[in-house]
Chain A
């Protein structure tokens, strides 16, 4: 696609429920990144995918968070048993290669846990 697409744009969920956030990167971009942006904070790295290599999950805050990338394209970030502190904007970005000259970000998913 022309840009990085994320869905849903907004998600309200009850505490304890599972949620799935989707990211569709730019076609041909081999690198994909998830970041979390909490209120009043900068962006926190979560996970990185590069081609078919094993992802770097070092930024995931707990084992309730997981992500996968199917066919080297679309990625899904799953949060199980959501907590109120998970409320944030989740941003996805992609680039042509590892690191790249800059990332192209999507518009994010605003997750609110009530």
Chain B
């Protein structure tokens, strides 16, 4: 079974600065997807960024980028020019591409989250 670990329960960053959230995962599969979700107080999980394991290039979405290290099974999220609206819980998630896990590939496995505070 896959596991996802977020070792930082809480982080804080000054507005306009850069912060990196850590995520590691454990899997025996070669093809999979990794996600970062943001959960503000409204509770709705919002997809921030997505990475396909077979792509070596790190995904980028505006101020959000990832550092994907497949061999190390690491998937960190960097937020640049942090804004007050970035304050939220951030969850790292894993999903199999289904090549070896069959019907179970649709499940997302989540880490326990990192609470990010942005200091004005």
Q: Which of B13-21, B38-46, B68-76, B77-85 contacts A (4 or more CB under 8 A)?
A: B38-46
Instruction: Give Cα distance in the complex from A108 to B35, angstroms.
Output: 20
Query: Would you list which residues of chain A between 75 and 101 have a CB under 8 Å from chain B?
Result: 89, 91, 93, 98-101
Chain A interface residue bracket vs B: 20 to 34
Q: Is the CB of B106 within 8 A of A31?
A: yes
Min CB distance A95 to B, Å, is 8
Measured CB to CB, the nearest residue on chain A to B9 is: A40
Q: Is the CB of A99 within 8 A of B113?
A: no
- In the bound complex, residues from chain A placing their C-beta under 8 Å from that of B50 are 101-102
- In the bound complex, residues from chain B placing their C-beta under 8 Å from that of A104 are 47
Instruction: Give Cα distance in the complex from A106 to B43, angstroms.
Output: 8
Query: Would you list which residues of chain B between 1 and 57 have a CB under 8 Å from chain A?
Result: 4, 35, 37, 42-47, 50
Min CB distance A67 to B, Å, is 15
Measured CB to CB, the nearest residue on chain B to A99 is: B106
Instruction: Give Cα distance in the complex from A41 to B91, angstroms.
Output: 10
Among B42, B44, B103, B110, contact of A43 (Cβ-Cβ < 8 Å) = B110
4 further A-B pairs in the complex, CB-CB below 8 A; given A45-B109, A99-B105: A42-B4, A48-B107, A99-B95, A102-B47
Partner-B contacts on A (CB < 8 A): 31, 33, 35, 40-43, 45, 48, 50, 56, 59, 89, 91, 93, 98-108, 110
